[in-house]
Chain A
Amino acid sequence: MSDIKIRAKSSNGVTTVKSLMSHVMETGLRKDKETGDPIPAHFIQEVTAKWKDDVVMTALWSGGVSKNPYLSFKFNGGEPGDPIEITWVDNQGNSETGTAEIS
């Protein structure tokens, strides 16, 4: 399946994380153009970001977040080499985790 792209950079004691996830982010409101059938909702509901073992941010999402979501956030702390882990869970129970090191 897809993967999560993560870039994390620390500068002056603040780490900035940028991430890109692959997901259709269907709201459930759209209809198939040919058959007219509704396209079932399929979107990421929760994104958890960890620095080492600490959760630094939890994002709760609706289908109103754009397809292939981009997410950037910052936290105090973080040294080059520290691990960052981002996990998403969608409304159909799928999940994915990506990791990166702070540069």
Chain B
Amino acid sequence: MIDAKRRTLLKGSLGAGAVGVAVGAGLLTPRAVLANWPEAAFKAEDQSTALNDLLGSDTIEDSDKVKIKAPDIAENGAVVPVTVEGEVDGAKSISIFAAGNNTPLIASFEMSENSVPFVSTRIKMAKTADVVAVVQTPDGLLGAAKPVKVTIGGCGG
């Protein structure tokens, strides 16, 4: 039964919105998919929708406390190294967006009480665009952006 649901879900996720309809109709609870994977945020096609879904707000204060390390020019958009550091206390999460991608939310990292607000990973970028990092703090969302020039996009086939 669970397996049948999963098949339905996989098919559904290929057609945009089908899953949302299934969830809305109560056929699939989000918990059946994964504990807390924010599907709507990851499927959102603009950053502010994704932010609202993920963090409940899209109000970002630009801050130099949020440091993004990424190349100025990425020759291969399929592998763009990105490091984000937040010089803040009590950071709850760090989210990374590629503003030019179809679905800009790339990743969100939930911090624990022991975490240092630092993450480093490699992301795909469809085209030249800003990499946006958002650090969720007890006082609101702090953000920064770093333009990355992409010479070969990394999302198409």
Chain A residues engaging chain B, CB cutoff 8 angstroms: 14, 27-33, 38-41, 45-46, 51, 54-67, 69-77, 89, 91-93
Contacts and interface: CB of A to CB of B under 8 A. Distances in A.
A46 B107 contact: no
A45 B34 contact: yes
A65 B123 contact: yes
Task: Give the interface SS of chain A, mostly helix, strand, loop or mixed.
Answer: strand
Contact of A60 (B37, B80, B98, B118): B37
A64 B115 contact: no
A40 B13 CA distance: 9
Contacts of A29: 102, 155-157
A100 B156 CA distance: 36
B59 interface: no
Given A32-B157, A60-B108, A91-B13, 14 more contacts: A29-B157, A31-B157, A45-B37, A46-B35, A58-B109, A59-B119, A60-B37, A64-B103, A64-B105, A66-B124, A73-B120, A74-B118, A76-B116, A77-B114
A56 B114 CA distance: 6
Max count, chain B CB within 10 A of own CB: residue among A33, A58, A60, A72: A60
Closest 7 CB pairs of A and B: A30-B157, A74-B116, A64-B106, A72-B120, A66-B122, A58-B110, A75-B114
Contacts of A38: 14
Max count, chain A CB within 10 A of own CB: residue among B101, B114, B116: B114
A102 B97 CA distance: 31
A90 to B, nearest CB: 9
Contacts of B36: 46, 60
A7 to B, nearest CB: 13
Contacts of A59: 107-110, 119
Given A65-B121, A66-B80, A60 B114 contact: no
A50 to B, nearest CB: 10
